[in-house]
Amino acid sequence: MIKDITPMGNTWLDLYAETGFTVGTSLLLQNKSNWPAYVWEGAAPPVVTAGETEQQGYELARDLGPAKTSAGAAGLWIYCWQPEDAQPNGWLCVQEYAP
């Protein structure tokens, strides 16, 4: 088991690089922050053009419990949304999924 991570808010973070899990590993994610987090599976984070929101992908809300990512994903990215006056970091539990 690894310690919880606290990614910087309002920016995409490579979860495999941050946690040390091998790319393609299926993970179990739980958002422990009061604000939503967004998960994107792909080699790179989503490309967002002017006028689009950064809030792309699957939403992880605190009250919905943990979510499992796909095995074999080329990459895994997280975006922790934070209002400007909130604590600047997200709060996530990230563990390897073992059925």
Q: Where are the domains of the chain?
A: 12-88
How confident is the prediction along the chain (99 residues), in pLDDT tens digits per residue? 789 999 988 889 999 999 999 999 999 999 999 889 999 999 999 988 877 777 789 999 888 889 999 999 999 999 998 877 776 688 999 999 998
Type of residue at 28: L
**Bridge partners, residue 67, by sequence:** 29
Asked whether the beta carbons of 31 and 62 are under 8 A apart, the reply is: yes
Structure tokens that stand for 18 in this block: 């941050």
Q: Name the CA dihedral angle for 32, 65, 95, 36, rounded to a multiple of 10 degrees.
A: -40
Whole-angstrom distance, CA of residue 89 vs CA of residue 8? 5
Type of residue at 95: Q
